[in-house]
Chains A and B, each alone.
Chain A
Amino acid sequence: MALSGVEIFKLLPKTNCKKCGHPTCLAFAMKLAQRQATLDLCPDVSEDAKKILGEASAPPVRPITFGTGDRAVKMGEETVLFRHDKKFVNPCILAVEIKDTLSESDITKKTEEVLSSEIDRVGQKLRIDAIALTNVSGDKAKFEAAAKIISSKAPNVPVILATTDPAAAEAAAKLFAGKRPIIYGAGPVNAEAMANIAKAEKAILGVTAGGLDELSALTEKIKALGVEDMVIDSGAKKAKDIIGNNTLIRRAAVKKNFKALGYPVINFAQRDDSLHEALIAAVGIAKYASIVVLSSIEKWKNLVMFTLRQNIYTDPQVPMQVEQKIYKIGEATPDSPLTITTNFSLTYFIVSGEIENSKVPCRLAVMDCEGLSVLTAWAAGKFTASKIAAFIKESGIENEVKHRELIIPGYVAILSGSIEEKLEGWKITVGPREANGLPAFLKARTA
């Protein structure tokens, strides 16, 4: 990856003057290598060394913001190959293809599908992030006309303008001036013309070539022409090649710090069969794509893709959590039962789902346990009798419900006595162990 401490040391002044706050240049170099210090602390480092060290310390996959405003999406910045090593940084962008051969009403319809694709899941708003307009017609006027419809219907949605014709690219890009679109279509033949347009329009340039040798030569050439922000396509279409090329690109960037491939990757997953397409997209999401282009965005498919992306990109050290509070499920009245669980999103999801299934209105007290499941939180000392008692007292629930009965998860039945001791006037009832026992349990109580 980046330079080792010793390699960095060789570039420092080696005077051990301590101005950086470290006893020796070597000690400072070690801190730099671990990214625990920044180079500006050394006043005497040479310009040459700054340049080399600056390049070496840049993230291996270039960070780029696609689009502008509140729909802008970040890509790149990745530092690892496996999600258990460290969180994957910027979730894969999902884009839908709109062909310029479609009728005006179909283009409008698809654009509206993008605008209404948003779904809330575990407190995150998830949606189709971008539109990829493709110049299937080969006709500049058609491409521009389609771009016009999109720019007026969805002015804030980031767009990919896919064409190999520089004139068409330029005309369409002008409609998205200042909005950081991606112009996708620099290949070995038109690289120069496309690079010039991307530069003039301050757009990101999509670069494509047949294979990784050609692709790295091309990004170097384009960089020399003054374009820094690129997304790259190795030409892989088959699932096997997507996995293979994406893996080699990520490895080259992360392990070898190979700059010519240190850019976000775009994959085209379009297939006639929508389910097959979803699975090809899944390959891209799991294996290093920064953008996946789809041909259709049915609601069921969106939910699947969004969920997978969320799973792959969650921080392995920080479980997904929901807010600590007392949730009402159904038309809960002051007499409705009160249940309690932890704030691990998965636990909350399952338990609230089963309470909904029961059709018995309830309150569900969700306690902050740093996102741990019931048993894990109990084992870690975060879901204990005294913490539960304190939470109930401080929650204000005593003003909200008439009764004084709390239903706890069956797995922590052992806590019931000690909660009763600490929570005066309350009766603790042990619920079923598995949440799927809740509907029968709750129904039996109201019968």
Chain B
Amino acid sequence: MAFVAPKETYSGKVYQVNIGTGANALSFGGENVLPFNAFEGAVPNKPVIAYEVQDVPPSDWPENVQKPYSSVSGDPVTWAKFCQETLKAKAIALRLVGTHPDRENRSPEDAAKTVKDVLSAINVPLIILGSNHAEKDSPVLIAAAEASKDKNCIIGKAQEANYKTIAAAAMANNHKLIAMSELDINLSKQLNILITQMGFDKERLITDPMCSALGYGLEYTYSVMERIRLAALTQNDLTMQPPMLADVGMYVWKIKETQAPESEVPLWGNAEERGIAWEATTAASLIMAGAELLIMRHPKAVSAVEKVIEELV
């Protein structure tokens, strides 16, 4: 029997989202096939990796991922510039962890100033993230969205508990928006619906189904992403068609495997290489499940994933 390639044509496609302004603006999403299945459809854009930068020094990051930034991470502006100029970051994700009530408890005004300073120092697209404190994120992200008005940033993350204020701020200031729910396709769909019912354009959304690290629930994120992508393509489900985010670095660099020194776990081998590989492998698995936007920390992990992306397209 002769071989006939069993190609698929899907009824749906992923929205293409563009971020930033000017020459360094970027697009991601836009494909009408499963990840990297260019043999049967259009894959107009590659996944984008943003470097994570914090408003406060990364004292809570493990040693091995603090090191590459040790001379710049005292200040978010220097840090962001370093990512753009030295590491050639295509995008930057500024996480305002310092606003968390249990951390430095910085005010929304402080956050707005940091956003302005960082924006004036860089020309690549900016993702602005809160501290993941549902209540505090509302005022912080409103201030941040205003401070970055018309810069076409991504604001996040809107969750069930706070989406109204954050989505309104993103809309009023012409930004894109991350909608995050907890590892459940139905919750994710429901949140996207709620946000679009407010009048927010679904083509300006990014879905975050919640990341998990390799060995720590990766299979849940992987399968929720695959299911979301299949719903978008095979059922033409419009609420599942925004591109997806994998917020990799934050989840990877808190687990034991990225920290334990080789002296404690000799069978696990070199700690630095292990940590970098952990972040890169988590990211590489999730782009195969459908993530188009990633937030990562270690420069070597980022370059490894960019290299594999080059080979995948």
Residues of A within 8 A of B (CB): 82-84, 119, 121, 212-213, 215-217, 220, 238-240, 243-244, 247-248, 251-252, 255-256, 258-261, 273, 275-276, 278-280, 282-283, 286-287, 298-304, 307-308, 310-312, 314, 316, 346, 349-350, 353, 436
Q: Is the CB of B284 within 8 A of A279?
A: yes
Q: Is the CB of B281 within 8 A of A308?
A: yes
Binary interface profile of B, 197-240, with partner A (CB < 8 Å = 1, else 0)? 00000000000000000111111001100110010000000000
Q: Knowing that A240-B311, A251-B6, A349-B216 are A-B contacts, what are 14 other residue pairs whose CB atoms are under 8 Å apart, sorted by A's residue number? A: A216-B1, A239-B311, A251-B8, A258-B3, A275-B273, A275-B280, A278-B277, A282-B281, A283-B284, A298-B269, A300-B271, A301-B273, A303-B269, A353-B256
CB contact between B281 and one of A217, A238, A279 (< 8 Å): that residue: A279
Q: Which 6 A-B pairs have the closest CB atoms?
A: A299-B269, A300-B269, A300-B274, A239-B311, A216-B3, A84-B223
With A275-B276, A275-B300: A307-B37 Cβ-Cβ less than 8 Å: no
Q: Is the CB of B281 within 8 A of A82?
A: no
CB contact between B223 and one of A83, A243, A299 (< 8 Å): that residue: A83
Interface residues of B in 159-216 (CB under 8 A from A): 214-216
Chain A residue numbers with a CB within 8 Å of B230 are 82
Chain A residue numbers with a CB within 8 Å of B278 are 304
Q: Is the CB of B273 within 8 A of A300?
A: yes
Q: Is the CB of A304 within 8 A of B312?
A: no
Binary interface profile of B, 23-53, with partner A (CB < 8 Å = 1, else 0)? 0000000000011111100000000000000
Q: Is the CB of B268 within 8 A of A278?
A: no
Stretch from B87-95, B134-142, B301-309 that touches the partner: B301-309
Chain A residue numbers with a CB within 8 Å of B6 are 248, 251-252, 255-256, 258
Q: Determine how close the nearest CB of chain A comes to the CB of B115; give it in whole angstroms.
A: 28
Q: Determine how close the nearest CB of chain A comes to the CB of B212; give it in whole angstroms.
A: 9
Chain B residue numbers with a CB within 8 Å of A283 are 284, 288, 308, 312
With A83-B222, A240-B313: A248-B5 Cβ-Cβ less than 8 Å: yes
By CB atoms of chain A within 10 A, which of B5, B35, B230 has the most? B5
Q: Determine how close the nearest CB of chain B comes to the CB of A192; give it in whole angstroms.
A: 21
Q: Is the CB of B285 within 8 A of A308?
A: yes
Q: Is the CB of A314 within 8 A of B219?
A: yes
Chain A residue numbers with a CB within 8 Å of B223 are 82-84, 316
Q: Is the CB of B304 within 8 A of A275?
A: yes
With A212-B5, A248-B6, A252-B3: A303-B274 Cβ-Cβ less than 8 Å: yes
Chain B residue numbers with a CB within 8 Å of A215 are 3
Closest to A314 in B: B219
CB contact between B308 and one of A216, A247, A279, A350 (< 8 Å): that residue: A279
- Is the CB of B257 closer than 8 A to any CB of chain A? yes
A197 to B152 Cα, complex, angstroms:
65
Chain A residue numbers with a CB within 8 Å of B4 are 256
Q: Is the CB of B3 within 8 A of A280?
A: no
Q: Determine how close the nearest CB of chain A comes to the CB of B299; give it in whole angstroms.
A: 12
A255 to B7 Cα, complex, angstroms:
11
Provide 6 A-B residue pairs closer than 8 Å at the C-beta atoms, listed in order of the A residue.
A286-B285, A286-B289, A304-B277, A311-B214, A316-B219, A353-B256
A276 to B312 Cα, complex, angstroms:
12
Closest to A312 in B: B219
A216 to B4 Cα, complex, angstroms:
10
With A255-B6, A278-B281, A311-B214: A82-B226 Cβ-Cβ less than 8 Å: yes
Closest to A212 in B: B3
Q: Is the CB of B36 within 8 A of A303?
A: no
Q: Is the CB of A279 within 8 A of B219?
A: no
With A258-B1, A346-B217: A304-B281 Cβ-Cβ less than 8 Å: yes
A240 to B37 Cα, complex, angstroms:
8
Binary interface profile of B, 256-282, with partner A (CB < 8 Å = 1, else 0)? 110000000011111101101110110
Q: Is the CB of B3 within 8 A of A261?
A: yes
Chain A residue numbers with a CB within 8 Å of B288 are 243, 282-283, 286-287
With A278-B280, A308-B285: A299-B270 Cβ-Cβ less than 8 Å: yes
Chain A residue numbers with a CB within 8 Å of B2 are 213, 216
Chain A residue numbers with a CB within 8 Å of B311 are 238-240, 280
Closest to A436 in B: B254
CB contact between A298 and one of B219, B270, B312 (< 8 Å): that residue: B270
Chain A residue numbers with a CB within 8 Å of B218 are 308, 311
Chain B residue numbers with a CB within 8 Å of A346 are 216-217
Q: Is the CB of A279 within 8 A of B305?
A: yes
A301 to B38 Cα, complex, angstroms:
29
Q: Determine how close the nearest CB of chain B comes to the CB of A410; give it in whole angstroms.
A: 14
A276 to B35 Cα, complex, angstroms:
19
Q: Is the CB of B268 within 8 A of A276?
A: no
A301 to B311 Cα, complex, angstroms:
20
Chain B residue numbers with a CB within 8 Å of A278 are 277, 280-281
A84 to B184 Cα, complex, angstroms:
13
